[in-house]
Structure 1
Amino acid sequence: MERTLDADGGVARKFRITDKGAEHLAAQREEFVTGLTGLTGVIADWPAERLRRFVADLEQFNTDIERVSGRSWPRPMAEG
């Protein structure tokens, strides 16, 4: 992670993920997904319809959490 200047000249602290950080995040995400969906993963033997419902419910959960906190979901990608 690296600090960047506030483009608007404010005093906000802004951070941008480095290439190394993005690679690390991607590797951790892959491990997490494999742990859920791999041959011995938590949801490996779920039928397609159950998985579809789970994903829809999780998306709704995230949307509602963000709505309650006053933030949109999914968040727009930062330009950079």
Structure 2
Amino acid sequence: AVSNTMFSSRVDMKGAVEILITLAIALIAAYILGFRPSLSYLDKIITKEFIGLVQKSTIFLLAPIAIDIVILSVVKLIRKRR
């Protein structure tokens, strides 16, 4: 069970390796058997408007990321001095 914290514990991640290996084997087997889904629908989804939206959202997320980096740097400097 995943805990209520933001970080997963070792117990939470215990079965992750097995799941990833099983998923990789299934995907490789599907590829070898010739299952190759068509990706032509992506031309309809990824439009100029969508790209503009992604670019704007990237710019808006830059401020919180910069603030987090500054806070982490300050905390690291303070902890180093102690």
TM-score by length of 1: 0.35
TM-score by length of 2: 0.34
Higher strand share: 1
Q: Relative contact order: is structure 1 or structure 2 higher (C-alpha 8 Å, sep ≥ 6)?
A: 1
